[in-house]
Copies of this chain bind each other. A is one copy, B any other.
């Protein structure tokens, strides 16, 4: 039972005194204890235990110039942030990895454009050692900010760039093979004999949406533009897009939706219209979002991406950079993770 004395917390000084050693030695023991005689290590450890000593992170950060914290920046003004299981899983992966490395997760939610000033100040302030950012839209100011303040950053999803928005090179990201996965999905539909395959795209200011659309086009080189509708990655948006597609192309016999949430929206509309899935219209989603794809009616055939794994990977990449670089401005490499088609009942 550490004695939580009223008021003051024990300092390293107190530990040293109690153990009968110098502050320096106490410090060494607290930080691993290399090169300290065994019995002294024991003495110090005991003092730490008795006093309930916990290092003061501020003091430590002041001298080491390392905070042991990483920012996770989510720049999604909409409700989507959490309601889309995608984020939750990725954050969970990140959290696990960071925790395993004794690193804290500071959550930075961007509500509106004005928040970027705050974010910049925060990053520039040195509150964190690095940053992880998600779901960037085409001309998100974040990459420029990260670069300006020299903050090592790993992006979730390939960032989109407009010319002049800060240049390319030197950006690390983790992304699924969106294009390849989309191709697989469309090919499945094709192999099943479907001939009028529509696509419900995500918001095209996000690269994941663009890449999936590109994959669709890779396979359907001369796809009728009327077969493509843009959604917003939400169920409601998917429903809307589905309705529009049916309006334009009543003869469509398959749909590839750019994510599962939109697929469920599409499913609802198809059901309302009395169209059987996959009988009349086959449907493939993307994500294999849990609690969504599997519990849909019928369960969704979809393209799985290892979202939690991608989160871990992002954190790993960043942590590795932080360890190594320590000033070298080393840039982590990007990683594309594979996808896998998961066949269930909708196609």
Contact = CB atoms under 8 A, between A and B. Distances in A.
A107 B105 contact: yes
A194 to B, nearest CB: 27
7 contacts: A56-B62, A82-B82, A82-B89, A82-B92, A99-B118, A105-B109, A235-B295
Nearest to A74: B95
Contacts of A343: none
A28 B56 CA distance: 25
Interface string A118-139: 1001101111000000000000
B58 A126 contact: yes
Q: Would you list the 3 A-B pairs with minimal beta carbon distance, nearest first?
A: A82-B88, A58-B61, A58-B62
Contact of A127 (B52, B57, B92): B57
Interface of A: 4, 7, 9, 52, 54-59, 61-62, 67, 69, 72, 79, 81-83, 85, 87-89, 91-92, 95-96, 99, 104-109, 111, 115, 118, 121-122, 124-127, 148-150, 234-236, 268, 290-291, 295, 297, 327
B127 A4 contact: no
Interface-central residue, A67, A79, A82, A111, by most chain B CB under 10 Å: A82
Contacts of A126: 9, 54, 56-58
A22 to B, nearest CB: 21
Nearest to A329: B6
Contacts of A121: 54
A124 B54 CA distance: 7
Contacts of A327: 7
A150 B95 contact: no
A144 to B, nearest CB: 12
A148 B4 contact: yes
B149 A4 contact: yes
Contact of A83 (B4, B67, B88): B88
A135 to B, nearest CB: 14
B95 A85 contact: no
Contacts of A72: 107
B297 A268 contact: yes
Contact of A69 (B54, B91, B106): B106
Nearest to A96: B111
B58 A4 contact: no
A227 to B, nearest CB: 25
Given A236-B291, A291-B234, A83 B85 contact: yes
Given A83-B83, A105-B109, 19 more contacts: A4-B148, A4-B149, A9-B126, A57-B125, A58-B58, A72-B107, A82-B82, A82-B88, A83-B85, A95-B109, A99-B115, A104-B106, A104-B127, A105-B108, A234-B291, A235-B295, A236-B291, A236-B295, A268-B297
